[in-house]
Amino acid sequence: MTSHATSLSSWSAAIKACLDERGLDSTALFAQAGLDMALLADPKARYPLDATTRLWALAIEATGDEALGLSVARHVRQTTFHALGYAVMASATLAGAFERMVRYFRVVTDAGELSCGPCEQGYCYRISPLPGSQQPADASLDAFMAVIMRTCRALAGRDVVPKAVHFRRPLPADPGPYERLFRGPVAFAQAQTEIVFDHAVVLAPLPYGNDELARHNDEILTRLLAQQQRESVPARVQGLIAQRLKDGEPSPEAIAGELHLSLRQLQRKLKEEGTSFRDILDATRHELACRYLADEHYSLSEITWLLGFGETSSFTRAFKRWEGMTPGVWRRRDC
C-alpha cells in the first residue's frame, strides 16, 4: 500500500543515534532505506512513512533486537518534536501535556492519531492507526510509547507507574524489556495501543509547569500546522478528491484547476513528493471505504456511490485488491 504519511526527520535521528551507539553503520542503513541523511539537520524536514518503515526493519535486522524501539526512545530529546517538546515540558499537568500532544501531533507525524481522556479503566492515552492507511512499524509504536512513559516520569519528577499498558502488536519473543520499562501490567495483541493511568496521576500539578512558556510554544505549533496545510500538495489533492468523489471520479485536470495549477505542474509536484494522482485517488477511496464500512448505516450501494464508482462490482474488485476480501466479508469481520 502506498502511503503519503510523513514524520519529522528528527524522529529518525533517534534511530541513527541508537545505531551509532551500538557501533553499526547508520549511514549505510539510511541509504538502503532511501533516506537522505542531510535532512536530519533540518528541524522542519520530513521523511515518508514508507522509507522510515524500511529503516526500522533494517535496524532491527542489523541489531537482532526486537525491542529496539525501547532503546531508541532513550535518544529522543526535547528538540526531537520541535516546539511540541517544549510545550509538553511546560504543561501544568500530565493531562494538559497529553492534550497538547493530541492537538499538535500532526506536526510530528500524520501516520496515526492520538486521543486521551477518561476510559473504563481510568485515564487512557492512545495512539491509533488511520483506517485504510499503511500502519507504522511496530518498533516505531514501541518507541513512541516508551517516549511517553519516560516523559511522564521526567515531568512528574518521580516514578510514574501506569495501571496498564496495551499494545496492538503481537507478543514479542521476550516481553521482559517492556515489563522492565513500563513497570506495570503489559499486554500484547490487544484492541488498542494505549497507556492507562490513574486519574489522580494525570491531574496532579507538575513541579515545572509554566503557562506562559507553554502558550508561546503553542503559537509556534499552530503556525507550523498552518504551514504544513498550505504546503502539502498531496494532502490538498486528497482533500479535494474526498469532496468530489460522490459526484463521480474526479479528473486530474479538474483537481489541478482547483489548485490553480496546470496538469503538468500538478504531476510534477506530486512526483516530487513520491506519489501520483492515481495513487492518491486509490488511497483516498481505500481510507474512505474502511470508514464507511465501519458504519453499519451505509449500504454497499451507498458506499459505491460515495466513492465515485459506477457499479458495485467495480467497488468490490477494488476493495479485494486493497484488503484481500470483499467489502461484505470485511464488514462482518470488523463488527
Interacting residues of 268 by C-beta distance below 8 A, sequence separation 6+: none
Question: Helix, strand, or coil here: 118?
Answer: strand
Rounded to whole angstroms, what are the CA distances from 329 to 47, 298, 310? Answer: 35, 15, 21
- Alpha-carbon distance of 162 to 174, in angstroms, equals 20
Q: 501490567: which residue's cell?
A: 185
Which one, of 149, 145, 147, lies nearest residue 169 by Cα? 145
> Closest Cα partner for 322 from 194, 134, 137?
134
Taking the CA atoms of the chain, what radius of gyration do you get in angstroms?
21
Predicted pLDDT of residue 294: 86
Give the three cell numbers for residue 184. 506495570
- The pLDDT, as a whole number, for residue 135 is 85
CATH code reported for the domain at 6-226: 3.90.1520
- Topology classification of domain 232-334: Arc Repressor Mutant, subunit A (1.10.10)
- In this structure, are residues 157 and 180 in contact, taking their beta carbons and an 8 Å threshold? no
Residue 2's pLDDT is: 47
Cα–Cα nearest to 68, from 83, 80, 58? 58
Residue 180 buriedness (CB in 10 A; 0-12 / 13-18 / 19+): exposed
Per the structure block, which three cell numbers stand in for 316? Answer: 468490490
Amino acid sitting at position 22: R
- Cell 541508537 belongs to which residue? 18
Q: Give residue limits of the domains in the chain.
A: 6-226, 232-334
- For residues 144 and 12, the answer to whether their CB atoms sit within 8 Å is no
Alpha carbon distance 262, 186 (integer Å): 53
pLDDT mean values, one per 10 residues, the chain (335 residues): 74 97 97 88 85 96 98 94 95 98 93 93 93 84 98 95 97 97 97 97 96 96 84 83 88 88 92 90 92 87 93 95 93 70
CB contact set of 310 (below 8 Å; sequence gap of 6+): 248
